Amino acid sequence: MKPLISRLFFLAAAAALLSPGGLIEAQTVDRLVATPERIDLEQGESASFQLRALDAQGNEVDVDLRIVRSSAAIEVDADERVVRGLQGGSEAQIFVTEILPADADREPVMVGIPVRVSFPAVTRVELSHSPERLYAGTTIELSASAYHADGSERPDPRPRFTSSDDDVATVDRFGAVSAHSAGSVTITAEVEGASEAWSAEVQAFPAVRMELTGGLDEARTGDVLEFSPRFYAEDGSVVEDVPVQWGYSFRSEDGVQVPGAVAVVDSGRFLAEEPGQYAVMASAGPLSARRAVEVQPRQVVQRIEFQGQGRVDNVHTSDFWVFEGNDGRDYAISGTWGADGWAYMWDVTDPTNLVKTDSVQVDARTVNDVKVSPDARYATMTREGASDRVNGLIILDLADPAHPRIAANVTEGLTGGVHNAFPMEDYVYALSGGQKYVIIDIEDLENPRTVGEVQHEDCRIHDVWVLDGLGYSAQWGCGILVYDVGNGAWGGTPENPVFVSQLTTPGGRTHAVYPYYQESTGRLLVFAGDEIMSRRGMALEGGLSTQPYDPETGQGGTPSNTAGYTHILDFTDMENPRKIARYKVPEYGTHNIWVEDDVLYQAYYEGGIRVVDVSGDLMGNLHTQGREIAVYKPADPVGYISNAPMVWSGMPFKGRLFLSDWNSGMWALEIEPRQPVALEENDQDN
């Protein structure tokens, strides 16, 4: 389900007025009045609001109302008429609209309540740990974090840095401390009256010679090279802990300077985005050293070819999953969005001829997520928008994969809509109302049992994925959460999950998650995707289009404009996870993620399916490093919205690539093996 739709909250009210004579026809609403007219909140605070519907004479009228929040900066309880501030430094609105019958001959009456969410006061500042010794002529960088009384962190605090003695050391507004002469100095960072100080001793520069080792003479774009400086004193001894400033120079192959971040160099780690000749430079005090590197194109592009399509043009297609059935044939299950609870079964054994074998309908508005257990014993269908509002999770028995049977409907612990689920052989991890995920024992398909749950503080949740007994969940502003749900290293079991780790991502829009063990480096990587629908503040704005084009009204049929990107996180050290890279394509937004054999298959909504080389050490933005292997945009002239690619998910399977597209159904593709010689000859011809 898209966030735009998930922001709708419905308030049931009486449809008629009572009088001494009984029911009378309701008066026509002239205006809606909100009290207060504007709401100011601190982050974490709640406030009540009142609504009145008035006719032309000022009499109150009972009506059905729809209450909508404009953004995730606030949360609204429509039944209690309470708004809560979630994101400080934000402005939002509560939109209240009269609900009219379908045959009404007038526009509904509306009112908006502006809501401003401010930050709480900063009560504590922390400075990053740095050596207490500096050398004249060197520079180090301090960073400051600011916290509120409740322990929450202030984003982008912009501290004011000052030095106690500018003759000894100065500090710029970004926290870079430059040492000038021997002596004592104190650097202070202040945010809104709260401050923290750091003291250091500046000593004379001790080294007389510098060497730069490591790296390679030749590399490809996107390769990370490690350089190490070494300093020597006059007596030949090695001097440790000398802060180094890094830089590079660049000369392109054709002699033309390429603008932008042609390369990245950070703490001795160097990566080039453009082919050419580079010099990596390190300096400290009066000393400097350089190493030359020639960088060649990465050359990973492969052709991607259309194989077949399982067209769905009457409704939106949501998630899908491809699997081998117990009869040896290949199948896929796909869900639908806003389409009366349908899911479809496909025989995809011949990818050039995707055949729909059956369909399953359940009580739901949307089957947002479908997945199949690793042993292909059963499938899960999530339910949102059920007529009885119970929703729950549907378990399909795949004994006959072409014609699945509903084995169970799990509702225990699953209040609200079930957005996503992750099935394993013995357990299913299912989201409950965007608040938590519950763990279901699925050994007996006919009698599943809820045995545990994970609810982490006040964190909204959107996705969960389990690898080696660890549950990784994407939780919007709370980032990525990791729980031991059976790994055991932290004492967790499905019945008693144990918190392991957490890492927030910039922007607070963590939507999708995919954990991946990278064998070549021994690292445990987590790919975390943003989702930003109906983006604002960019040159190409646009709303979420959900309807096909209507030639009579001229409405609908507009492609979506999304935003967001994929964060690449290193969880190898669970105690100290960190962000190491990103994959960001301008003007598009990400959705579901798959990684296999060091290849990222990123569903990038209207940007199509993106196939990306994620081998080796990763740093910077993979999009600008020549790491993209292939891109395919599934445009269908008779799709639900014509020629409007909107890729929801991608999944490699038996040498082919399958995807689901929101506007056109299931697609099968084949990535052809790369022909290096032919490709190079073709490039020369062009």
User: Hey, which bits of 505-606 come out as E strands?
Assistant: 510-518, 523-530, 566-570, 578-583, 593-596, 599-603
Q: How far apart are CA 590 and CA 460, in angstroms?
A: 19
Predicted model pTM: 0.85
Regions of the chain with pLDDT less than 70? 1-26, 676-686
Which domains can be identified in the chain, with CATH numbers?
Answer: 3-118 (2.60.40.3450), 122-203 (2.60.40.1080), 209-296 (2.60.40.10), 299-313+456-653+663-686 (no CATH), 317-455 (2.130.10.10)
Tell me the C-alpha distance between 645 and 633, whole Å: 6
In the structure encoding, which two tokens stand for residue 120, read together? 């709480």
Tell me the two tokens of residue 602. Answer: 């990123």
Q: Name residue, tokens 């604002």.
A: 536
291: helix, strand or coil? strand
Nearest to residue 569, comparing CAs of 663, 484, 625, 505? Answer: 505
Predicted pLDDT of residue 22: 39
Q: From CA 558, how far away is CA 247, in angstroms rounded? A: 46
Q: What is the pLDDT of residue 676?
A: 59
**CB neighbourhood size of 15 (10 A):** 12
C-beta separation of 259 from 273 below 8 A: no
Cis previous bond, 155, omega within 30: no
d(CA 280, CA 245): 11
Q: List the structure tokens of 129.
A: 């740990």
d(CA 238, CA 294): 30
Distance, C-alpha 365 to centroid of its chain = 25
Residue pair 150/44 in contact (Cβ under 8 Å)? The answer is yes
Strand ranges of the sheet holding 599-603, from the earlier edge strand across to the other edge = 593-596, 599-603, 609-613, 628-632
Host H or E run for residue 306: strand 304-311
Calpha distance 545→642 (Å, rounded): 12
Residues found in the chain: 686
Q: For the segment 107-129, what is each residue's pLDDT rounded down to a tens digit?
A: 899 999 999 999 999 999 999 87
CA 456, CA 580: separation in Å to the nearest integer?
A: 25
Strand partners, 665: 311, 661
Rounded Cα distance between 621 and 273, Å, is 9
